[in-house]
Amino acid sequence: MAECSDFVNFDHTRQGIKFYMCCECKMHIALVGDNDMAHGDTWSINLETAVNLVKSIPEHYVASGRTKMAYMSCIYCRTPLGWQYVEVESPTNLIKEGRVILYLDKLMYWSGEQMEWCGENKRRNH
């Protein structure tokens, strides 16, 4: 197990706390917040609740024209965990600037009592 003292860690003993971790190295990634939204296989959160992520240089997202996004990876193991909207042409609740989208099948979930896989049965077996 890696030393995580240089990184942000949520206090898992706190009453009612729920958060996500990197599936590969268990780095704490995001607190579960009031404005989170599930969207298919992804989870949409506010950036303020996310920690320990490194951001790529923002790129244009070809499929939707003027939307620009930056990929987000785990700061420790560099596993790609999602992306952030940097510029959005027509914002919605789900798609707006600053919003971070995480891949549920790349995350572990601390439910307040135990660790769970987010992406059911999606874990690679090898």
CB of 117 to Zn ion, least distance (A): 15
> Do the Cβ atoms of 108 and 117 come closer than 8 Å?
yes
Interaction residues for Zn ion, span 14-43 (CB under 5 A): 22, 24-25, 27
Nearest to 116 by CA among 26, 13, 4: 26
Q: How far apart are CA 100 and CA 81, in angstroms?
A: 10
| Residue whose tokens read 């959005």 | 88
Please tell me the distance from the alpha carbon of residue 12 to that of residue 28, in angstroms, as a whole number. 10
Q: Is 74 an interacting residue with respect to Zn ion (CB under 5 A)?
A: yes
| Binders of Zn ion in range 100-119 (CB under 5 A) | none
Nearest distance from C-beta of residue 26 to Zn ion, angstroms: 7
For the CB of residue 19, give the shortest distance to Zn ion in the complex, in Å.
14
- Give least dist CB 79 to Zn ion, A: 5
Looking at beta carbons only, is 86 or 107 nearer to Zn ion? 107
Which residue lies nearer to Zn ion by CB, 25 or 95? 25
Question: How far is residue 44's CA from residue 95's CA, in Å, rounded to a whole number?
Answer: 9
| Sign of the C-alpha dihedral computed for residues 32, 87, 72 and 42 taken in this order | positive
Q: Which residues bind Zn ion (CB under 5 A)?
A: 22, 24-25, 27, 74, 76-77, 79
